[in-house]
Amino acid sequence: METLHGIPVSPGVAIGKALILHSEDSFIVSKTEIRPDEIPKEIVRFEESLTKTRSELFGIRKKIAQDIGHEHSDIFSAHLLILEDRTLIEDVFSKIKNENVPAEYAFSVVIQRYFHAFAQIDDEYLKERVADIKDVARRIMQNLRGEKKDSLMHLKDEVIVVSHDLSPSETAMMDREHVIAFATDIGGPTSHTAIMARSMEIPAVVGLDRISKEVSNGDMMIIDGNRGIVVIDPDPLTIDRYGREERRFVELVTELDKLKTLPAETLDGYKLQLVANIEFPDEIPSVIAHGAEGIGLYRSEYFYMNRTDLPLEQEQFEAYRNVAEQLAPKPVVIRTLDLGGDKFLSSLDIPQEMNPFMGWRAIRFCLARVDIFKAQLRAILRASVYGNLKLMYPMISNVVELRQANQVLEEAKKELREAKIPFDEKIQVGAMIEIPSAVLISDILAHEVEFFSIGTNDLIQYSLAVDRVNEKIAYLYEPTHPAILRLIRHTIDNAKKAKIWIGVCGEMGGDPAMALLLLGLGINQLSMSAFALPKVKRAIRAVTFKQAQEIASRALEFTTGEEIKRFAEAKLKAVTPELFEE
Ligand code: PEP
Ligand code: MG
Residue 250 CA to ligand 1 centre (angstroms):
28
pLDDT band for position 537 (cuts 50, 70, 90): very high
- The atom number, within ligand 1, closest to the CA of 454 reads 3
pLDDT tens by residue, 484-515: 999 999 999 999 999 999 999 999 999 999 99
- Residues 156 and 293 reside in one and the same domain: no
Measured CA to CA in angstroms, residue 534 lies from 160, 308, 415, 507, 569 at distances of 26, 38, 43, 15, 17
Closest residue to atom 1 of ligand 1, CA basis:
455
CATH number at residue 62: 1.10.274.10
Ligand nearest to the CA of 189: 1
Closest residue to atom 9 of ligand 1, CA basis:
299
- Residues 391 and 378 reside in one and the same domain: yes
- Residues 473 and 491 reside in one and the same domain: yes
- Residues 17 and 50 reside in one and the same domain: no
pLDDT band for position 39 (cuts 50, 70, 90): very high
- Residues 171 and 243 reside in one and the same domain: yes
Residue 163 CA to ligand 2 centre (angstroms):
25
Residue 456 CA to ligand 1 centre (angstroms):
7
- Residues 222 and 358 reside in one and the same domain: no
Report d(CA 223, CA 202) in Å as an integer: 10
Domain residues for the domain of 247 are 2-22+152-253
Asked, for residue 246, whether it belongs to a domain, the answer is yes
Dihedral pair phi/psi, residue 101, rounded to 5°:
-120, 155
Asked, for residue 215, whether it belongs to a domain, the answer is yes
Asked, for residue 319, whether it belongs to a domain, the answer is yes
Q: Determine the pLDDT at residue 123.
A: 66
- The atom number, within ligand 1, closest to the CA of 341 reads 10
Report d(CA 69, CA 433) in Å as an integer: 35
Q: How many domains in the chain?
A: 3
Which positions are catalytic? 192, 505
Strand 2-5 relative to strand 7-10: parallel, antiparallel, unpaired? unpaired
Asked, for residue 546, whether it belongs to a domain, the answer is yes
- Residues 138 and 167 reside in one and the same domain: no
- Residues 283 and 202 reside in one and the same domain: no
Ligand nearest to the CA of 297: 1
Closest residue to atom 4 of ligand 1, CA basis:
455
pLDDT band for position 331 (cuts 50, 70, 90): very high
- The atom number, within ligand 1, closest to the CA of 190 reads 8
Q: Determine the pLDDT at residue 394.
A: 98
- Residues 569 and 447 reside in one and the same domain: yes
- Which pTM does this prediction carry? 0.77
Report d(CA 459, CA 282) in Å as an integer: 28
CATH number at residue 480: 3.20.20.60
pLDDT tens by residue, 386-399: 999 999 999 999 99
pLDDT band for position 26 (cuts 50, 70, 90): low
Measured CA to CA in angstroms, residue 492 lies from 407, 446, 513, 521, 524 at distances of 26, 11, 18, 7, 9
Most confident of 116-120, 134-138, 281-285, 526-530: 526-530
Closest residue to atom 3 of ligand 1, CA basis:
455
The pick from 392, 432, 461 for probing ligand 1's pocket by mutation, whose C-beta has the most ligand atoms within 8 angstroms, reads 432
- The domain boundary, picked from 253, 278, 293, lies at 253
Asked, for residue 485, whether it belongs to a domain, the answer is yes
- The atom number, within ligand 1, closest to the CA of 338 reads 9
Asked, for residue 465, whether it belongs to a domain, the answer is yes
- Residues 227 and 279 reside in one and the same domain: no
Residue 434 CA to ligand 2 centre (angstroms):
6
Residue 439 CA to ligand 1 centre (angstroms):
15
3-state secondary structure 88-101: HHHHHHHHHHHHCC
Q: Determine the pLDDT at residue 62.
A: 72
- Residues 456 and 544 reside in one and the same domain: yes
pLDDT tens by residue, 45-81: 999 898 888 887 787 777 666 655 565 556 666 677 7
- Residues 483 and 436 reside in one and the same domain: yes
CATH number at residue 236: 3.50.30.10
> Is residue 152 over pLDDT 70?
no
- The domain boundary, picked from 220, 253, 286, lies at 253
**Residues within a 6 A CB radius of ligand 1:** 297, 299, 338, 434, 455-458, 505-506
Asked, for residue 259, whether it belongs to a domain, the answer is no
Asked, for residue 39, whether it belongs to a domain, the answer is yes
> Is residue 144 over pLDDT 80?
yes
Report d(CA 438, CA 449) in Å as an integer: 13
Closest residue to atom 6 of ligand 1, CA basis:
455
- The domain boundary, picked from 145, 180, 212, lies at 145
Q: Determine the pLDDT at residue 63.
A: 64
Query: What is the mean predicted confidence (pLDDT) over 152-173?
Result: 79
